Chains A and B, each alone.
Chain A
Amino acid sequence: MFRRELEVETPMQIEKGSPTPGGIPLRIEGISKTYAGRTGYVEALRPVNLTVEPGEFVCLLGPSGCGKSTLLSIVAGLEEASGGVIWANEQKVTGPGTDRVLLFQEAALFPWLDVLGNVEFGLRQKQLSASERTRIALRFIDMVHLNGFEKSFVHQLSGGMRQRVAIARALAINPAVLLMDEPFGALDALTRDRLYSELEFIWSSTRKTILFVTHNVHEAVALGDRILVFAPRPGRIVSEFRINLPRPRSLEDHHLVDQAAEILAALKEALGEDEQENSNGQSK
């Protein structure tokens, strides 16, 4: 099944004159976020520095409330940072752009559109003919194995299928960066396992840059080239791990299990030092 799809032209070839094949580099420079809370200012994100290589798969791992989702939202251009700059392919990020697409824990599909309409949504924002839109959308529906469901409505799909549609909808506009905010967090373990492999396949065949937020250590180790561990209050990066396991990865692989245990220990330590304000262990 996958062999057939490997022959399909990769999404990057769809758009003529694409500046880079696959993903683009991301540079996060001193991004911070402070909210005005009821009892004064809340430091949601202490200045974060991070460089992501083109085509790299980076997981941001941490407990809820550690600012990792905020960081993702800022990279997507949906939220403004209190300080710092994001560079996407050496261009300053000033707002949402179709080079970076954010995916959510809820698939956030539009219930008034069917599957095809949802996948075509981003393409409608570009000036493409209707037949061209459909042609592209059908290819990505095929890529996420939902052929035959084009005319289904959102409520008729299972959680995993909805998340696949969301992935197809994001891929259809051919972004260079996928920003994924716990996209599989609400799914059952079996569906999640299957989607790990599908995402790994999509990533390896398109070489997009992926920033993936999760609180699940196994998920991070199964998917990431690199894992950045976040600690909360204030949100900051406390440690960094490089995962050099061969792909495709299996969750049962004992190397993976060992590495997950090591990272979990680091995560627990970070949570324990929560109160220690001066432990600003920035990566790099």
Chain B
Amino acid sequence: MAKASNTLTPSTVPSTGHTVSKINISVWARRLGFYVLLILAWQFITMLNIWPQYELPGPLDVLASLVSGILGGQYIPAILVSMQRLLIGYGISLVIGLVLGSLLGRFKLLEETVGSLILGLQALPSVCWLPLAIIWFGLDEQAITFVVVMGALFSITIGVLNGIKNTPPIYLKAARTLGSRGLALSTQVILPAAMPSVINGMKQGWTFAWRSLMAGELLYTTVSLGNLLETGRDQLDSGQVVSVMLIIIAIGITIDTLVFGNIERSLRERWGLQS
């Protein structure tokens, strides 16, 4: 019987990662070269003086606007206001979306009725809710929060719903035969199994929320990132407009990579999914 003894050791487990660092360096070098060339070309074109400076700012103008905007105390409060709106709106839609998606996944009748409504509403760009929101709430925080919530809510709900619907039945069978029932089955099996789909919905929701926030803020007179774009236009200060655009891109990329990139990476490592 001892012939069955096992001689495997942990080192035989295939490991992930750590083989691509060499490739990464050359990719980053090419990327850096591209951006240096892009900025040089930009600078060269502005130096040709084809367009006036207020139409096409040079890289140095944009840099100057960026520095003075930050040091002048204008940009930082604007960033904080926009981020706060995003956080509140996204937080609300996350809570509602998780609950709503779970209910739709649990009750067939709800999915057939409310589910179809949600699919329909998702076709509407959420900034289209702004006129109605302003009529309801006035031109204030509630209206813009409403638009952000509408931006993220449906993506998150549908992500949760799809994740629950696509839970492999074998996981449910395995869990039930091991004695899992009711709430424990939902929280320990159905929701974790739905995670890849939920994360997808959350990521898409955040993208929509961020876009509708920026669009909505263009109409606002209180200090915010969208409003800085608008005042830049008023003052024909294209340097400010482009520098704020860069900040918006930077925030988007930061959240994408730091928040969702990390979540997705840990999920891939756990589940062994392909990227």
Q: How far is the CA of A169 from the CA of B269 in the complex (A)?
A: 22
Decide: A148 and B10 in contact? CB cutoff 8 A: yes
Decide: B179 and A126 in contact? CB cutoff 8 A: yes
Decide: A121 and B175 in contact? CB cutoff 8 A: yes
Q: Which residue of B lies closest to A155 (CB)?
A: B272
Give chain A residues whose Cβ lies under 8 Å from the Cβ of B10: 148-149, 152
The answer to whether residues A153 and B192 also contact, given A78-B177, A96-B177, A145-B6 and a CB cut-off of 8 A, is no
Q: Which of A1, A78, A126, A170 contacts B176 (CB 8 A)?
A: A78
Instruction: Give the number of residues in A that approach B within 8 Å (Cβ atoms).
Output: 44
Q: Which of B8, B170, B176 contacts A96 (CB 8 A)?
A: B176
Q: Is B271 an interface residue (CB 8 A)?
A: yes
Q: Is A194 an interface residue (CB 8 A)?
A: yes
Cβ < 8 Å to B, chain A residues 101-146: 101-102, 104, 106, 108-113, 121-122, 124-126, 145-146
Output the least CB separation between B163 and chain A (Å): 12
Most buried by A among B174, B180, B193, B269: B174
Instruction: Digitize B53-76: 1 where CB-to-A-CB distance is under 8 Å, 0 elsewhere.
Output: 000000000000000000000000
Q: How far is the CA of A255 from the CA of B86 in the complex (A)?
A: 74
Q: Which residue of B lies closest to A194 (CB)?
A: B4
Q: Is A26 an interface residue (CB 8 A)?
A: no
Q: Is A227 an interface residue (CB 8 A)?
A: no
Decide: B178 and A121 in contact? CB cutoff 8 A: yes
Q: Is B270 an interface residue (CB 8 A)?
A: yes
Q: Which residue of A lies closest to B3 (CB)?
A: A197
Instruction: Digitize A247-277: 1 where CB-to-B-CB distance is under 8 Å, 0 elsewhere.
Output: 0100000000000000000000000000000
Give chain A residues whose Cβ lies under 8 Å from the Cβ of B16: 156
Q: How far is the CA of A102 from the CA of B178 in the complex (A)?
A: 8
Q: Which of B8, B173, B271 contacts A145 (CB 8 A)?
A: B8
The answer to whether residues A108 and B2 also contact, given A96-B179, A149-B13, A156-B272 and a CB cut-off of 8 A, is no
Q: Which of B178, B179, B272 contacts A111 (CB 8 A)?
A: B272
Q: Is B119 an interface residue (CB 8 A)?
A: no
Give chain A residues whose Cβ lies under 8 Å from the Cβ of B49: none
Output the least CB separation between A67 and chain B (Å): 17
The answer to whether residues A1 and B5 also contact, given A108-B173, A108-B174, A156-B14 and a CB cut-off of 8 A, is yes
Across the A-B interface, the 5 shortest Cβ-Cβ residue pairs: A155-B272, A197-B4, A145-B6, A122-B178, A108-B174
Given contacts A101-B177, A121-B178, 14 further A-B contacts (CB under 8 A): A96-B177, A98-B179, A108-B170, A110-B175, A112-B195, A121-B188, A122-B179, A122-B180, A145-B6, A149-B13, A153-B271, A153-B272, A197-B1, A201-B1
Interface residues of B (CB under 8 A from A): 1-6, 8-10, 13-14, 16, 170-171, 173-181, 184, 188-189, 192-193, 195, 269-272
